Structure 1
């Protein structure tokens, strides 16, 4: 794999999957634009990349999505183009639906769904004009299967699949592929930062997350999926992957298995 001369813009790049993907793509000679709310953390990620001079920092808050056109202009000006947008920014949830404030539901949808599609729509004219570009979206296995304590998170990720499947069909003739990447459990702080029912962070690591795929291994597999322009890929353990296929072929069995899941 070689991403030479490719400009790749990554949201949610200050930690976790976004950070390790940025480092991996820099190793593969890509030019990188790093975005998240945390400018200082992005600068640290930039310094960890193989080619820091080919990495730009562009702070971005997905929750404030009403006018991303200026942000897109700034991103394009970094290297005079953007070839790939990696929609990786987002936040998770750990609370029962009955205990979750509607304000928390809204925040999850604002960040995970509306912020992502607003940024996508803002850069889409650039891709159409150039007759090339690629959207990469970090969704989740939970974007295929709803599980306990993640009702609104699952809803936001399911919504991304619907939107980007439609977008892929609409812009096939414009040479704009869409790659949906569905992680299972990955060793990041996603569960620590996950919102509880009142909107406060959980502040503890789930056991399953702690035992998940190492971020560096995940980043290598994600980079490969991006390079091959896969339409949809599941980067997860055997149990999570099996759930996707059980949902398709044995839905009642999967429903039974999900009811037996630990909810802690």
Structure 2
């Protein structure tokens, strides 16, 4: 029996690594991608069934290489069923202080890299009349918050793009699941870029006290399996979505006072 194949970017750590392990445990074939080949191999060996996992290094910033990466990915197991776009970079800097080249870098990786990979894979899904995109957005892909201006913009852009793509390819049986985590205990803030492009190199308190990557992965697994359109993952911070939607003025006052970083 042919196994269901999931391809995960950003699979070398955090949510991506935890999700790879979860899908492997559930019997899926898993393709693991990121820039860090050594770490990808470590994740592969930590999976329940490493014999059904493959490592395919890639850099989302190198968009001209991604068509070839799609061909390589398809050749590994013969097809792809789920593309989990999880690769990306975060930000911790004020908009007024952030250099434009840093803004461009965030958009290049988070948006254009993801879109380039999607465009290259879409014909495969369309020809099979089957496929699913899971996209790691963020709660700030809906609400925005201080110190994350361009990061939030890149995630907002993904929502607009993939909501449109979902409608365009409904008849092709291609599904889209937008995944919006809040505070998850990973190194996302450690690796976040600052105003001059350097890494923050410290973990936010909210991140340190957040949901485990493993629990987040469990919820991602369930949402992808049920082909949900959009899910919110986290603790009480998820309430921000509803405050923004129903009482935006009150939410703005809370956001200013909270000074979340």
TM-score (norm 2): 0.98
Aligned to 1:252, which of 249, 253, 257? 249
Taking the aligned partners of 1:263 and 1:88, their CA distance within structure 2 comes to 23
Q: Map of 1:150-169 to 2, 5 A cutoff?
A: 150-169=148-167
Distance of aligned partners of 1:167 and 1:57 in 2 relative to their CA distance in 1, 3 Å threshold: same
Local SS of the residue matching 1:70: helix
Name the residue aligned to 2:191: 193
What's the CA shift for 1:262? 2.3
- Cα distance per residue 1:4-43 (max 9 Å; x no partner): 7110000000000000000000000000000000001000
- Cα distance per residue 1:42-81 (max 9 Å; x no partner): 0000000011110000001001112421110000000000
Q: Map of 1:47-66 to 2, 5 A cutoff?
A: 47-66=45-64
Q: RMSD in angstroms over aligned alpha carbons?
A: 1.1
Q: Map of 1:169-188 to 2, 5 A cutoff?
A: 169-188=167-186
Name the residue aligned to 1:43: 41
Local SS of the residue matching 2:54: strand
Query: How many corresponding residue pairs?
Result: 261
Name the residue aligned to 1:133: 131
Name the residue aligned to 1:105: 103
- Cα distance per residue 1:138-168 (max 9 Å; x no partner): 0000000110000000000000000000000
- Cα distance per residue 1:114-133 (max 9 Å; x no partner): 00010001000000000000
- Cα distance per residue 1:58-105 (max 9 Å; x no partner): 001001112421110000000000000000000000000011000000
Structure 1 stretches of 5 or more lacking a match?
Answer: none
Taking the aligned partners of 2:234 and 2:164, their CA distance within structure 1 comes to 25
Structure 2 stretches of 5 or more lacking a match?
Answer: none
Name the residue aligned to 1:228: 226
What's the CA shift for 1:263? 4.3
Name the residue aligned to 1:146: 144
Taking the aligned partners of 1:225 and 1:198, their CA distance within structure 2 comes to 37
Taking the aligned partners of 2:257 and 2:144, their CA distance within structure 1 comes to 13
Aligned to 2:240, which of 234, 238, 243? 243
Taking the aligned partners of 2:23 and 2:67, their CA distance within structure 1 comes to 25
Taking the aligned partners of 1:69 and 1:196, their CA distance within structure 2 comes to 30
What's the CA shift for 1:241? 1.4
Taking the aligned partners of 1:112 and 1:158, their CA distance within structure 2 comes to 11
Does residue 210 of the first structure (1) align with residue 196 of the second (2)? no
Q: Map of 1:77-96 to 2, 5 A cutoff?
A: 77-96=75-94
- Cα distance per residue 1:195-234 (max 9 Å; x no partner): 0000000000000000000111111111000100000000
Taking the aligned partners of 2:116 and 2:252, their CA distance within structure 1 comes to 34
Runs of 4+ displaced beyond 3 Å? none
